[in-house]
Structure 1
């Protein structure tokens, strides 16, 4: 198992039309920290990860994971196969 932390932070921000600055202000960090998180250059503390999840009203596992998230095209292909059954 890798120690790398994967995230969907930029996806959640884009879906909500939220800037890095707005997210940073809502969780009490510098906007650069959000950029570092999105690029995988920094792993958040548990407290910060929970604050971010709260902003988006999702479980922390929806944003951060130890395994890479499947791509959107993989998810859509899987969904299409499941609905054809």
Structure 2
């Protein structure tokens, strides 16, 4: 199942973003798992708050990067879908 514009993604219990000052990266921590995030994933997950819809996340990123929403939407949905398959993001 793919995220839709109206879905509101959130991090499930036990999953959180953590800044790693030693490595200068941001990690996504889950029980017994950790993922190093690229800067794009950090931006997207920074907007995943359980209140914003996918459409609102795309709009915020489009405004921040002065890009058309349709150019950003597919990448955001692809990232959220991948993280949902890994069970670190939920709808």
Larger strand percent: 2
TM-score by length of structure 2 reads 0.38
| Larger radius of gyration between Structure 1 and Structure 2 | 1
**Which has more helix, going by share of residues?**
1
Length-normalised TM-score, structure 1: 0.39
